[in-house]
A and B are shown apart, each in its own frame.
Chain A
């Protein structure tokens, strides 16, 4: 079965600094890849997605992610974080081939922004 690993449970970044959140997946082929963000008391908002093509994908709120097949990774980046980026970030995979099992999520990374 597929799995998603987000190695960092918590990350603290100073406002204005760059950010990289790590995501690794385990699957026999290239899955579809997603990043979602969950602000306190809120639902999950889709930041960006990768299905195929250009391995660098742009999302909302200034986020981008790069798919690296050789490393089975899909890391999320932002060049300069804002206090409003403090939230929980989830990486998720979906299975190609018509799989209908919804998404498999990582455990999440809690992002703390220091002033």
Chain B
């Protein structure tokens, strides 16, 4: 158990809908990351927050957005869903925001199926 908690574990939704994925980081971690894992794209970095502020942005679509709240939990919002958004979405957390000495721990992921 990495200490990173993600909910829901599985969800199925229809095209055009909107979903919210939730993540609680490990105790003491200030940085939260979101990754998408799909068969064709592999593991893709989406976005990072550090202590409530957006720190880095990767291959995140405009239909997707995220935020980190004062209690450090984070939410990833996916809207106008398409079939191609079906994937495993990972949340990860770390103590630091930068790379020095930074170890990133992953949750078990949220499986999203768009039908």
The residues of A with any CB-CB pair to B shorter than 8 Å are 32, 34, 36, 42-46, 49, 51, 90, 94-108
- Are A98 and B43 in contact, CB atoms less than 8 angstroms apart? no
Q: List 9 A-B contacts (CB under 8 A).
A: A43-B2, A46-B104, A46-B106, A51-B101, A97-B99, A99-B99, A100-B48, A105-B43, A106-B42
- The smallest beta-carbon distance between A8 and chain B, in angstroms, is 15
- The smallest beta-carbon distance between A56 and chain B, in angstroms, is 19
A43 nearest in chain B by CB position: B108
The residues of B with any CB-CB pair to A shorter than 8 Å are 2, 4, 33, 35, 42-43, 45, 48, 50, 55-56, 58, 90, 92, 97-109
B99 nearest in chain A by CB position: A94
- The smallest beta-carbon distance between B89 and chain A, in angstroms, is 11
The CA-CA distance from A34 to B103 in the complex, in Å, is 9
A42 nearest in chain B by CB position: B108
Which residues of chain B are near A98, meaning CB under 8 Å?
98-100
The CA-CA distance from A21 to B19 in the complex, in Å, is 37
Which residues of chain B are near A102, meaning CB under 8 Å?
33, 35, 45, 48, 56, 58, 92, 104
- Are A44 and B58 in contact, CB atoms less than 8 angstroms apart? no
Q: Specify the main secondary structure of chain A where it touches its partner.
A: loop
The CA-CA distance from A45 to B102 in the complex, in Å, is 15
- Assuming the contacts A42-B108, A43-B106, A102-B104, asked whether A96 and B42 have C-beta atoms less than 8 A apart, the reply is no
Which residues of chain B are near A97, meaning CB under 8 Å?
98-99
A44 nearest in chain B by CB position: B106
Q: Which residue of B33, B48, B55, B98 has the most chain A CB atoms within 10 A of its CB atom? A: B98
- 10 smallest A-B Cβ distances: which pairs? A43-B108, A98-B98, A44-B106, A105-B43, A102-B45, A94-B99, A100-B56, A100-B55, A102-B33, A43-B106
The CA-CA distance from A45 to B45 in the complex, in Å, is 17
- Are A99 and B43 in contact, CB atoms less than 8 angstroms apart? no
Which residues of chain A are near B35, meaning CB under 8 Å?
102
